[in-house]
């Protein structure tokens, strides 16, 4: 049975007749019991496209939810990180070949914030190792030397994410990752990086880099 | 009164014009000022009654009131009306601004003034809201020096930026109003 804690205007949790009260992320919900929907048949072309887009983006973000928690930390009060990332990316994350959507990797964002990115970001493949470099100067305004640099690699041939660990700091100016056991030669490795301060309160926008596997 | 959300009920057709305009003003001002929050928290501190959020809110209010031009949906920020700092410390007249590849130099008068002390510190901010990057002078300069220089990030060679200058007393309690030095086009 649902109990109203704050009087007539208060929220409640549980069932009261045909009404169900619940709460999530400090948002109070009041819902009717689920209605029975008739089977509407096959989706239209437009519906089918939307469903494909939803599936594609949701599946893509699924393995990196914990990174999105850092990148979209400011939105977590009333949303999950994956939902926030989904909403932020949905409008510009797709390329279309006919009616088949595919992800526009260069437009994907894993963070949203106002911390200044380091600049001069570069990724090169050398002797089976990806080396990522960036500018370490902060110019008095662009964040702290101890900002964490989060680097996410995506290898399309095995549909797998790789996180560069241990997390580099801004002052180190470089990070590297051995690619010998990953991916196929000649394929394009997608790479995103963003920074967050040591308290993980401010994050920078995402920078996209791509590098050819040698 | 509709008590339950029904997805079959269409949403309101149009949001009121004033509401949309206000929301856009807030969004524009916030986007412009938020990256400068560490600076603004200090430079507007006197107007924040000890609270950083209130200090930033005062700066935000000033931008919304004075620095946004145009009608919705073509509203835009006028950077020369944005005040990065606020206060009563007098500004020194600017005599020259020299932009080179890697730095921006500003020359100003260093003559004595009853309100302006020789030891007042000068700060210069180069900032590009489009690139999302900024720079501040790393050397401490005072009013008597008559010159200040800021090292520019390499991104500014290809991107335009705005520059602001302000003074503050040596105790960092009082600030001047910020002075807009101008909009600097990319070199390349």
CATH code of residue A74: 2.60.40.10
Judge if B153 and B176 occupy the same domain. Answer: yes
| Cα A198 off chain centre by | 20
Same domain as B180, residue B96: yes
Within an 8 Å CB–CB cutoff, is residue B55 touching chain A? Answer: no
- Contact state of B132 with A141 under an 8 Å Cβ cutoff: no
A 28-87 residues with CB below 8 A of B? Answer: 30-32
Are B125 and B179 contained in the same domain? yes
> Mind listing the pLDDT tens digit for each residue in B15-50?
788 899 999 999 999 999 988 988 999 999 999 888
Residue owning tokens 């649902």: A2
Per-residue pLDDT reduced to its tens digit, B46-98: 998 889 899 999 999 999 999 999 998 899 999 999 999 999 999 999 999 99
> Quick check: B30 contacting A, CB < 8 Å?
no
Q: What is the value of ipTM here, to two decimals?
A: 0.72
A98 and A187 assigned to the same domain? yes
Domain assignment of residue B128, yes or no:
yes
Instruction: Let me know whether B74 and B123 are in one domain.
Output: no
B50: distance to nearest CA of chain A, Å? Answer: 21
Which of B84, B109, B125 is the last residue before a domain boundary? B84
What CATH number should be reported for the domain holding residue B97?
2.60.40.10
Q: Does A37 map to a domain?
A: no
> Burial of B18 by CB count in 10 Å (0-12 exposed, 13-18 middle, 19+ buried)?
exposed
The H or E element that residue A155 is part of is strand A148-155
Q: In which domain, by residue range, is A14 found?
A: 2-32
The whole-number pLDDT of residue B54 equals: 94
Q: Which residues 112-131 in chain B show a CB within 8 A of chain A?
A: 125, 127
Residues B186 and B125 in one domain: yes
Query: Tell me, what's the pLDDT at A65?
Result: 92
pLDDT above 60 for B2: no
Question: Are B124 and B178 within one domain?
Answer: yes
Tell me: do A178 and A103 sit in the same domain. yes
Choosing among B9, B33, B132, which should be mutated to test the A contact, i.e. which has the most A CBs within 10 A?
Answer: B132
Q: Are B96 and B181 in contact (CB under 8 A)?
A: no
Looking at the fold, whether A120 and A195 belong to one and the same domain comes out as yes
pLDDT of residue B42: 92
Find, in chain A, the residue whose alpha carbon is nearest to that of B135. Answer: A139
What's the rounded Cα separation, in Å, for the pair A96 and A102?
6
Indicate whether B42 and B94 sit together in one domain: no
Residue A49 lies in a domain: yes
In a domain, A194, yes or no: yes
Give the pLDDT of residue B1: 39
Can you give the three-state secondary structure of A59-74, one letter per residue?
HHHHHHHHHHHHHCHH
Do A91 and A12 share a structural domain?
A: no
Residue B3 lies in a domain: no
Best to test chain B binding among A22, A137, A138, A141 (most B CBs inside 10 Å): A141
Same domain, A107 and A183: yes
- Phi, psi (degrees; rounded to nearest 5) at B12: -55, 140
Q: Does A166 touch chain B (CB under 8 A)?
A: no
pTM, full prediction: 0.80
If asked whether residues B124 and B143 sit together in one domain, one would say yes
* pLDDT the model gives residue B4: 52
Question: Is residue A23 located within the same domain as residue A86?
Answer: no
User: Does residue B72 lie in a domain region?
Assistant: yes
CB contact under 8 A, B135 and A120: no
Q: Tell me: do A95 and A27 sit in the same domain.
A: no
Q: Model confidence over B121-131: pLDDT tens digits? A: 999 999 998 88
The answer to whether residues A49 and A83 belong to one domain is: yes
pLDDT of residue B12: 65
Say yes or no to pLDDT of B6 above 60. Answer: no
pLDDT one-digit tens code per residue, B116-175: 888 899 999 999 988 878 899 988 999 999 999 999 988 888 889 999 999 999 888 899
How far is it, in rounded angstroms, from Cα B120 to Cα B172?
9
Domain extent for B60 = 16-84
How many domains, chain B? 2
Same domain, B98 and B188: yes
Rg (Cα) of chain B, in Å, rounded?
A: 20
DSSP line for B113-146: -SS--TT-EEEEEEEETTTTEEEE--S-EEGGG-
Contact A178, A166 (CB under 8 A): no
Do B183 and B121 fall within a single domain?
A: yes
Walking along chain A (214 residues) 10 residues at a time, the average pLDDT comes out as 75 87 86 78 90 94 93 85 91 88 94 86 90 90 87 92 89 89 85 92 91 85
Q: Cα separation of A111 and A90, whole Å?
A: 14
* B92, part of any domain: yes
Q: In this structure, are B51 and B118 located in the same domain? A: no
Give a yes or no: residue B114 inside a domain.
yes
b or e along A124-154 (b: 16 or more beta carbons within 10 Å of the residue's beta carbon)? eeeeeebebbbbebbbbbbbeeebbbbbbbb
Indicate the residue of B37, B133, B150 with minimum beta-carbon distance to A142.
B133
Residue pairs spanning A and B at CB distance below 8 A: 54
CA distance B148 to chain A (A): 14
**Inter-chain contact A116–B3, Cβ cutoff 8 Å?**
no
B27 touches chain A (CB under 8 A): no
Q: Does A117 touch chain B (CB under 8 A)?
A: yes
Most A CBs within 10 A among B35, B136, B138, hence the mutation to make, goes to B35
Which residue among B3, B35, B154 places its CB closest to the CB of A114?
A: B35
Residues B128 and B104 in one domain: yes
- Total domain count, chain A: 2
């Amino acid at each position: 049975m649902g109990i109203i804690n704050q009087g007539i205007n208060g929220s409640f949790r549980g069932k009261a007749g045909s009404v169900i009260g619940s709460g999530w992320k400090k948002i109070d919900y009041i819902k009717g019991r689920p209605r029975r929907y008739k089977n509407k048949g096959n989706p239209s072309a437009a519906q089918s496209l939307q469903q494909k887009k939803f599936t594609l983006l949701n599946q893509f973000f699924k393995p990196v939810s914990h990174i999105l928690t850092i990148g979209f930390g400011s939105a977590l009060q009333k949303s999950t990180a994956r939902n926030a990332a989904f909403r932020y990316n949905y409008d510009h994350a797709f390329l279309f070949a006919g009616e088949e959507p595919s992800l526009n990797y260069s437009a994907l964002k894993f963070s949203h914030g106002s911390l200044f990115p380091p600049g001069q970001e570069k990724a090169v493949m050398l002797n089976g190792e990806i080396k990522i470099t960036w500018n370490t100067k902060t110019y008095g305004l662009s964040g702290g030397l101890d900002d964490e640099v989060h680097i996410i690699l995506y290898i399309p041939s095995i549909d797998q994410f790789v996180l560069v660990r241990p997390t580099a700091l801004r002052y180190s100016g470089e990070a590297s990752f051995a690619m010998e056991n990953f991916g196929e030669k000649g394929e394009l490795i997608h790479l995103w990086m963003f920074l967050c301060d040591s308290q993980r309160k401010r994050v920078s926008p995402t920078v996209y880099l791509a590098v050819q596997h040698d | 009164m509709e008590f339950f959300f029904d997805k079959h009920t269409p949403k309101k057709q149009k949001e009121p014009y004033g509401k949309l305009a206000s929301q856009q003003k807030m969004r524009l001002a916030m986007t412009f000022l938020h990256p400068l929050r560490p600076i603004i928290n200090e430079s507007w501190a006197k107007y924040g009654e000890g609270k950083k959020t209130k200090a930033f809110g005062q700066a935000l209010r000033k931008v919304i009131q004075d620095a946004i031009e145009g009608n919705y949906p073509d509203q835009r920020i006028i950077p020369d009306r944005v005040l990065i700092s606020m206060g009563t410390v007098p500004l020194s007249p600017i005599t020259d601004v020299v932009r080179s590849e890697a730095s921006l130099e500003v020359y100003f008068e260093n003559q004595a003034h009853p309100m302006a002390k020789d030891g007042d510190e000068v700060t210069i901010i180069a900032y590009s809201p489009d690139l999302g990057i900024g720079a501040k002078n790393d050397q401490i300069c005072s009013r008597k020096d008559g010159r200040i220089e800021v090292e520019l990030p390499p991104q500014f060679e290809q991107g335009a930026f705005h520059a602001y200058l302000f003074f503050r007393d040596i105790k960092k309690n009082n600030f001047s109003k910020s002075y807009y030095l101008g909009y600097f086009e990319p070199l390349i």
